[in-house]
């Protein structure tokens, strides 16, 4: 069977897709990946067939990347839909199953329907899938005031249809397909998958037959830590890790991070991330690039991060206390989960300060939080990608797109 796995997100979306691809390949399946060009070299080295989609995303992590104008947003939405239809159509040739992972997957199901391939949509966080028991992810355009969850989801659907539906239906009409009037319902399909850990990010309706919760798709990272990092860790007490992934962040965040760590008598490891943060030239601070988080997080006193699904899961699985600094989308959900589970703390949304980081670390570095995080780590499963791969092979090819 030939499977296309598609995502247009950052590493937080690409690495789970890689995890599923690796499991499928181990089971003898032919796998193709359609991902942003930022990740092509990495996946090429791992021996996967890669089709790049869209422009490189890394530049969006810069704090100098300005807020888009309404006209830029309109053009961007049209370009996104066009790029997906043009690129995924080519990538999907000869494929039996198309799996769309993460947000803003507008074209994949239409392409599956044209070719007769099976289709699966996979989310990495519960609140990105509709339920009367939770609201959609917070967004800056959300209208103020108290509304029931169902009304908020209807508002979300209206915006999807308004921003993206017209362009999607243009491509569908050109291919002789009927228009869709509920774009999110079309994208999610009848039985979407939730690729999130059931202990950390459970679906709010246990036993709901509409959702397949596979568990988080975790790629087993076997890279050794760089010598410089290993020597830094060996030389003293466990440091505090600060990393904000693909998020925009001003350079002053690195200075605030070190000051907050020092306030608790800790050293700091600062990940450069897509914002290219520069760590202080000091013996108690080390800057790192892309490293094996699974190995590193087992050796730190706390993980301070943006709250992406992948980083939150990696830290929880490593047993590390966490401080979440949420900025957008599902990050607010994971901030709430870390607080409610007693695994750490969260700051207010926005740029973190010395004060906010110091206060949050005061909570995360408490001995009882460390004990709770270590105990919780045993509940976080690592077989979600394997579960998903077996499910794909045994059930999905029998379903229609």
Q: What is the pLDDT of residues 105-148, one digit of tens each?
A: 999 999 999 999 999 999 999 999 999 999 999 877 666 667 89
CA 39 – CA 274 distance, rounded (Å): 13
As to burial, measured by CB atoms within 10 angstroms (0-12 exposed, 13-18 middle, 19+ buried), residue 236 is exposed
Residues 55 and 353: their CA atoms lie apart, in Å, by 32
Is the pLDDT assigned to residue 273 strictly greater than 80? Answer: no
Q: How confident is the model at residue 64 (pLDDT cuts 50, 70, 90)?
A: very low
Q: Say how far apart CA 138 and CA 121 lie, in whole Å.
A: 21
**Which stretch of DSSP H or E encloses residue 98?**
strand 97-101
pLDDT tens per residue, range 210-228: 999 999 999 999 999 999 9
Report the DSSP beta bridge partners of residue 324: 305, 346
**pLDDT surpasses 90 at 3:** yes
For the segment 61-69, the average pLDDT, to the nearest whole number, is 52
What is the DSSP annotation of 289-322?
Answer: -S--HHHHGGG-SEEEE---HHHHHHHHHHT--E
Asked if domains 2-218+382-398 and 227-377 share a fold, the reply is yes
Which residue reads 């590390």 in tokens?
320
Predicted confidence (pLDDT) at residue 69 exceeds the cutoff of 70: no
The CATH architecture to which 227-377 belongs is 3-Layer(aba) Sandwich (3.40)
Give residue 359's pLDDT: 96
Q: Give the separation between CA 345 and CA 26, rounded to whole angstroms.
A: 39
Question: Residue 23: its pLDDT value, please?
Answer: 97
Q: Which CATH class is domain 2-218+382-398?
A: alpha beta
pLDDT of residue 71: 64
Q: Where are the domains of the chain?
A: 2-218+382-398, 227-377
How many Å apart are CA 180 and CA 79, to the nearest integer?
19
DSSP annotation of 165: I
255: tokens are 């200075």
Average pLDDT, the chain: 90
Examine the pLDDT at 336 and tell me if it is beyond 70.
yes
Q: How far apart are CA 296 and CA 164, in angstroms?
A: 40
């Amino acid at each position: 069977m030939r499977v296309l796995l598609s995502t247009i997100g950052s590493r937080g979306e690409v690495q789970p897709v890689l995890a599923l691809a690796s499991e499928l390949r181990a089971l003898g399946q032919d796998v193709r990946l359609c991902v942003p060009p930022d990740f092509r070299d990495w996946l090429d080295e791992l021996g996967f067939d890669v089709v790049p989609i869209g422009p490189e995303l890394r530049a969006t992590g810069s704090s100098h990347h300005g807020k888009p104008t309404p006209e830029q947003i309109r053009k961007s939405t049209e370009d996104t839909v066009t790029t997906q239809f043009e690129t995924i159509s080519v990538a999907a040739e000869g494929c039996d199953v198309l799996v769309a992972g993460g947000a803003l997957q507008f074209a994949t199901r239409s392409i599956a329907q044209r070719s007769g391939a099976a289709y699966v949509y996979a989310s990495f966080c519960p609140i990105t899938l509709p339920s009367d028991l939770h609201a959609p992810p917070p967004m800056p355009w959300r209208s103020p005031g108290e509304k029931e969850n169902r009304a908020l989801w209807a508002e979300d659907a209206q915006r999807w249809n308004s921003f993206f539906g017209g362009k999607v239906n243009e491509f569908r009409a050109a291919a002789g397909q009927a228009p869709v009037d509920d774009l999110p319902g079309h994208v999610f399909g009848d039985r979407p998958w939730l690729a999130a850990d059931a202990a950390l990010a459970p679906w709010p309706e246990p036993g709901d037959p509409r959702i397949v919760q596979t568990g988080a798709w975790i790629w087993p990272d076997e890279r050794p830590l760089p010598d410089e990092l290993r020597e830094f860790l060996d030389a003293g007490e466990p440091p505090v890790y600060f990393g904000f992934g693909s998020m925009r962040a001003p350079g002053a965040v690195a200075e605030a991070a070190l000051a907050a760590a020092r306030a608790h008598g800790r050293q700091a490891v600062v990940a450069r991330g897509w914002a290219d943060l520069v760590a202080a030239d000091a013996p108690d601070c080390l800057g790192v690039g892309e490293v094996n988080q699974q190995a590193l997080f087992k050796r730190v006193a706390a993980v301070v991060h943006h709250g992406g699904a992948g980083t939150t899961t990696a830290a929880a699985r490593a047993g590390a206390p966490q401080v979440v600094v949420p900025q957008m989308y599902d990050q607010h959900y994971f901030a709430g989960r870390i607080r409610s589970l007693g695994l750490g703390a969260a700051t207010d949304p926005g740029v973190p300060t010395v004060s906010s980081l110091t206060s949050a670390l005061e909570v995360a570095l408490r001995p009882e939080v460390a004990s709770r995080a270590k105990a919780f780590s045993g509940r976080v499963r690592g077989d979600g990608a394997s579960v998903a791969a077996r499910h794909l092979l045994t059930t999905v090819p029998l379903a229609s797109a």
